[in-house]
Structures are given as C-alpha cells and as structure tokens.
C-alpha cells in the first residue's frame, strides 16, 4: 500500500481556554476523498485550519507526503462555504490572483475555467455570477496552484439542491483529473456517502474521530445503491451514538 498523502495527529487543541480537539488522528491517500461529519461546534473547521497550517498553535503534527507542514503553502488549499472571491477582480484574476500572470498562466486559467464548466467567463466580475458559478470559480482558484490536498469546509451548502448535485459531480471529476486528496466537511450525510471513500464521524467535547464508515462503491455511484444506503445508515447510527442529533 502506498504511503499516505496526509497524516494528522492532534494530541490537543485549545481555543479560548477550552479543549476543542483531543487525540484526533486521521490519514488520507492520494486521490482519496474522506468526508468529515459531526455536530456543529465539534471542531471540524478548527481541524481544517490546523491541517492548512493557518493555525499552528496546537500539540500534534500534520504531515503531507511524509514532511511536516510548518507553514501555509500552495500544496494545501481550502475552499469555504462562501466563495470569498475578490469583488474588484475579474474571474480570471481571481483564479490567477492578480492578473499579472504569464501567457502560460492565462492558458491555464482558460483550461481550468473550461474544466469547471465556465468556459469564456474569465472577464466577468464576481457580482455577475450565480452562487454556484462563484463556487466553481473558487474551486478553479484552489486548483490553479496545483495543490496536493484540498480542504473543503461545507463547500456546497449555500447552493440549491440541483446545483449541489452538479457541483458534487464536478468535484469528483476534478479529484480524478488532478489526483489530489480531499477532506470534505459536510452536514449532509447523503453528500458524505456519495463522495467519500470513507466517512469520518467526529465526536464533540473534545473533538476526535469516533467512527469511520467505509463506502465500498465505485464512482460514479448510484445514490440508491444498497451499499450506499447501508453506509448512510451506518453514518446516521454513528452520529446518534456520538449524540450529534
């Protein structure tokens, strides 16, 4: 078996004098999507910030490709619930950061725009995009720097149900094409089971991985598949056991 892409050991993480995470361990392979579910406030966003080295004030280690992650880098990108685009920059400038990129960068931006289903929209301003389109731009921006790992914090919760299913399919295509690993935080059990190879169920106070549910179904998955339904039921049971409901 290949070495893990990501290995996380959080012995302890405190916030405001409270222990938010304790003895949390997880790992991820290249090209794997692991979904993280758990009650509101159990520490999911905190965990993503630690993994991205946006917060380094904790006891523990984060390793990417076997090396300690000591500072934020282009190898790890986060996408949030809201796209967080710069309103004064065009779509292309948002993806390429400042628009001063080379011709090669501009070609890459065009390729990424096509990949996320927005060909030719590089000159638009964010205010002229729908919520789903803006989130596609946020994904393209994350991919522009060719990360090894994408951290997604409820990335599709602000869009309607139809757009959400399309964005989920897009994410699967992107993960396959770019061979990246994904940690996906979601409150949607069906989404976790539709996308994740594994679903990690977090317990609160302090947060740690209480259960892990495998989803042994090849992509593209039929959401009505019995194995998917069984996995969703197992996730629901695990969430009950950790009193998330």
Ligand X SMILES: Nc1ncnc2c1ncn2[C@@H]1O[C@H](COP(=O)(O)OP(=O)(O)OP(=O)(O)O)[C@@H](O)[C@H]1O
Q: Can you give the binding site for Mg ion, defined by CB under 5 A?
A: 44-45
Q: Which is nearer to ligand X, 49 or 136 (CB)?
A: 49
Choose the contact partner of 41 out of Mg ion, ligand X, none; CB within 5 to 8 A by kind: ligand X
CB distance 239 to 37 below 8 Å: yes
Least distance to ligand X from the beta carbon of 155, Å?
A: 12
What is the DSSP code (8-state) at residue 127? G
Closest approach of ligand X to the CB of residue 159, in Å:
17
What minimum distance in Å lies between the beta carbon of 205 and Mg ion?
A: 15
The count of residues in the chain is: 245
CB of 41 to Mg ion, least distance (A): 8
Residue whose CB is less far from Mg ion, 44 or 164: 44
Answer with the entry of Mg ion, ligand X, none that 66 interacts with (C-beta below 5 to 8 A by kind).
none
Cα–Cα dist 112/109, whole Å? 5
The end-to-end CA distance of the chain, in Å, is 36
Q: Between residues 27 and 157, which has the closer beta carbon with respect to Mg ion?
A: 157
Phi, psi of 33 (to 5 degrees): -110, 125
Rounded Cα distance, 4 and 112, in Å: 27
Quick one: what does residue 20 bind among Mg ion, ligand X, none, with the CB cut-off 5 to 8 Å set by partner type? ligand X
Which C-beta is closer to ligand X: that of 27 or that of 81?
Answer: 81
* Helix (H) or strand (E) run with residue 151 in it: strand 149-153
Copy the structure tokens of residue 148: 């090894």
What is the DSSP-derived secondary structure letter of residue 222?
P
Report residue 31: phi and psi, to 5°: 75, 5
Among Mg ion, ligand X, none, partner that 157 touches (CB below 5 to 8 angstroms by kind): none
Name which of 43 and 147 has its Cβ closer to ligand X: 43
Which residues make up the interface to ligand X (CB under 6 A)?
15-16, 20, 40-46
């Amino acid at each position: 078996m290949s070495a893990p892409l990501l290995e996380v050991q959080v012995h302890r993480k405190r916030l405001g004098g409270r222990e938010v995470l304790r003895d949390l361990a997880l790992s991820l392979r290249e090209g794997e999507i692991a979904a993280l579910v758990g009650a509101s406030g159990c520490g999911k966003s905190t965990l993503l910030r630690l993994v991205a080295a946006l917060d380094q004030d904790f006891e523990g280690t984060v390793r990417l490709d076997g090396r300690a992650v000591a500072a934020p880098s282009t190898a790890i990108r986060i996408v949030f619930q809201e796209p967080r685009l710069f309103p004064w920059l065009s779509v292309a400038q948002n993806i390429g950061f400042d628009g001063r990129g080379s011709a090669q960068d501009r070609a890459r931006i065009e390729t990424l725009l096509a990949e996320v289903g927005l060909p030719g929209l590089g000159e638009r301003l964010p205010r002229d995009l729908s919520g789903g389109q803006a989130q596609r731009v946020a994904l393209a921006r994350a991919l522009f720097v060719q990360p090894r790992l994408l951290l997604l914090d409820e990335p599709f919760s602000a869009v309607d149900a139809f757009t959400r299913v399309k964005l989920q399919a897009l994410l699967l295509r992107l993960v396959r094409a770019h061979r990246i690993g994904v940690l996906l935080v979601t409150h949607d059990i069906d989404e976790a089971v539709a996308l994740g190879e594994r679903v990690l169920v977090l317990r609160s106070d302090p947060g740690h991985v209480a259960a892990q549910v495998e989803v042994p179904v090849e992509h593209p998955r039929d959401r009505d598949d019995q194995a998917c339904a069984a996995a969703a039921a197992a996730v629901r049971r695990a969430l009950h056991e950790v009193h998330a409901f």
